[in-house]
């Protein structure tokens, strides 16, 4: 039974892409969705310290100590995706520091749930990063085995290759994608639930002209602002605080009701 859940990381765990004006930071995400199911057990409390745009060293430096202080019985952590997108990255050094943090949580008595990165083979933006992500994933699998953690293998979740699981920025999952992750997390925990994956049907085929227009629109609305922030040394999370900084009871009944209605 999970009574004290603490989630740390970057935009993936904060919930960016799953817009919800009623939620803290205006996003919901897989962690809130999973917490809503876990909250059915009495005494459950949940904190989410993740902040968008954070590099792995920032996640470790800023979030590990507060998370440990909460004495969690379950910690979820995913970080490194932003690092892999940088021109240069030392994956071995990154995952060494990652493993040291995992070891600290395990030594404190917490179970840990890790994630591999998504396979971007079908997307032109992420295809060139596929080798980096695969190396990162092998390190994560080794860490999970050595420290007996739980693991959600997003690389093998082929449904995440469908762009309809992603927000318009192509960097973050949308509500459907976050629901898929919540289902996978609950499965890893062995927790029964009534979350239902969204049935998208066959993919629409776009003409070359339509693809080109979509790519140009994406470049203008999302890629150029992202490059601009990099050049200015800014991060999307510079003015963002953790959405759920304290370990508190969690009620997402309104959101769960909306999910059930959408799945009918």
Rounded to the nearest 5 degrees, what angle is found at the Cα of 182, between the Cα atoms of 176 and 188? Answer: 140
pLDDT score recorded for residue 128: 87
Best CA proximity match to 136, nearest among 121, 123, 153, 124:
153
Q: Say if strands 45-48 and 244-248 run parallel, antiparallel, or are unpaired.
A: antiparallel
pLDDT in tens, the chain (264 residues): 789 999 999 999 999 999 999 999 999 999 999 999 999 999 999 999 999 999 999 999 999 999 999 999 999 999 999 999 888 999 999 999 999 999 999 999 999 999 999 998 887 777 889 999 999 999 999 999 999 999 999 999 999 999 899 998 878 999 999 999 999 999 999 999 999 998 887 777 777 776 777 667 756 665 666 566 666 676 676 679 999 999 999 987 655 555 654 544
pLDDT the model gives residue 23: 96
Q: Which two tokens stand for residue 59?
A: 């996640």
Give me the half-sphere count of Cα atoms (radius 13 Å) on the Cβ side of residue 39: 17
pLDDT in tens, 204-254: 777 777 677 766 775 666 566 656 666 667 667 667 999 999 999 998 765
How far apart, in whole angstroms, are the C-alpha atoms of residue 34 and residue 178? 10
Give the model's pLDDT for residue 261: 46
The helix/strand/coil state of 78 is strand
The pLDDT score that the predictor gives to residue 19 is: 96
Instruction: Give the pLDDT confidence score for residue 228 in this predicted structure.
Output: 63
| C-alpha dihedral sign at 205, 128, 12, 23 | negative
Q: Which residues contact 80 (CB under 8 A, 6 or more apart)?
A: 56, 94, 95, 98, 117, 136
E-state strands within the chain? 4-9, 45-48, 74-78, 111-115, 150-152, 244-248
Structural domains of the chain, ranges and CATH numbers in brackets: 4-201+240-257 (3.40.50.1110)
Q: Quote the CA–CA distance of 9 and 187 in Å, as a whole number.
A: 20
3-state helix, strand, coil in the chain (%, to 5): 50, 10, 35
Query: ∠ at Cα 177 (185, 65), nearest 5°?
Result: 50
**Residue 80, token pair as written in the block:** 């490194």
CA-to-CA dists, residue 15 to 67, 80, 141, 160, angstroms: 18, 16, 23, 16
Spell 29-44 as b/e; 16+ CB within 10 A means b.
bbbbbbbbbbbeeeeb
């Amino acid at each position: 039974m999970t009574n004290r859940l603490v989630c740390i990381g970057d935009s993936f765990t904060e919930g960016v892409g799953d817009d919800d004006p009623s939620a803290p930071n205006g996003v919901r995400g897989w962690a809130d969705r999973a917490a809503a199911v876990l909250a059915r057990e009495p005494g459950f409390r949940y904190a989410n310290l993740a902040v968008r745009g954070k590099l792995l060293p920032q996640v470790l430096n800023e979030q590990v100590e507060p998370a440990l202080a909460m004495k969690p019985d379950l910690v979820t952590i995913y970080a490194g995706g932003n690092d892999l997108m940088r021109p240069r990255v030392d994956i071995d050094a990154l995952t060494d520091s990652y493993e040291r943090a995992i070891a600290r949580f395990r030594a404190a008595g917490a179970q840990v749930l890790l994630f591999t990165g998504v396979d971007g083979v079908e997307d032109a933006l992420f295809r060139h990063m596929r080798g980096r992500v695969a190396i990162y994933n092998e390190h994560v699998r080794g860490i999970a085995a050595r420290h007996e953690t739980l693991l959600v293998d997003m690389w093998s979740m082929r449904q995440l290759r469908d762009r309809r699981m992603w927000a318009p920025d192509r960097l973050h999952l949308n509500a459907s994608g976050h629901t898929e992750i919540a289902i996978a997390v609950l499965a890893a925990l062995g927790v029964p639930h009534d979350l239902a994956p969204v049935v998208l049907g066959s993919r629409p085929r776009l003409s070359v002209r339509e693809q080109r227009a979509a790519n140009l629109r994406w470049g203008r609305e999302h890629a150029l602002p992202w490059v601009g922030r990099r050049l200015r040394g800014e991060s999307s999370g510079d003015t963002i605080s953790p959405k759920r900084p304290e370990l508190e009871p969690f009620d997402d009944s309104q959101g769960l009701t909306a999910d059930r209605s959408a799945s009918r």
